[in-house]
Structure formats: structure tokens, C-alpha cells
Amino acid sequence: MINISIDVDQVGAVRRVTVSGHADFAPKGRDIVCAAVSAVVIGLSNAMEKIFQQNFAQVVDATKIICTIPAGMQAVQQEQALVFFKALCYMLEELADEYSDYVKVSTKRIFSQ
């Protein structure tokens, strides 16, 4: 199971997305669910890095990645980055809807960054 945790602040802005686990939809190297989740997370993180010249993703290990808004971003850039994060969440939620036996999304409210 791929577990996706979305942390939102008190106004509903996405502050952190943590993706961990393996779908086990198919054998390693043939798992389209893992490939889809990986493509969305890594693709969007890489695009954001190129656009904003900041690192948004921390790869913890082969089965875990954490995406956050970097500290110290200018307000305008932070607002723009939040739009990308919201898009990331929509894409991951769509995958979870389509492959609910393999991907789970949970959202929790946080009160500090």
C-alpha cells in the first residue's frame, strides 16, 4: 500500500506531502501504480525545482519522499508553489480513487510549519 499524508495548515494550504510504501499492484519494475505515483511526485518536484530554483523534495529512502515548501521563500513564490502543491494533491487523490486497494490518502490539519 502506498500511503500519502497531506498536511494542511489552519487556512487549508498544503504544507507537506509525504509518500511512502509500495503499491504491490504488480512485481517490482512492472507496477504501474507505483510508477504513476512516482512520476507525479518526482515530475512535479523537479518542475518546481527548475521554476523556483529551490528543492521541494527530500528522498528519505527508496520507499519514502517528503515534499515541503522551503523556508524563506518570498511570499509571491510561496503562493505560486502552493498552487503546484494543490495540483500534486489533486493528482494523487485521483490515483487513490482509481486504485483504492493500493493507494491511500489521508489529510491532517497542522497548526505550525
Given phi > 0 = left and psi -120 to 50 = alpha, else beta, which region is 17? Answer: beta
pLDDT above 80 (res 111): no
The model's confidence at residue 112, banded by pLDDT at 50, 70 and 90, is low
Q: How confident is the model at residue 71 (pLDDT cuts 50, 70, 90)?
A: confident
* Global pTM value: 0.91
Cell of 11: 487556512
Question: Among 46-55, 56-65, 90-99, which is the least confidently predicted range?
Answer: 56-65
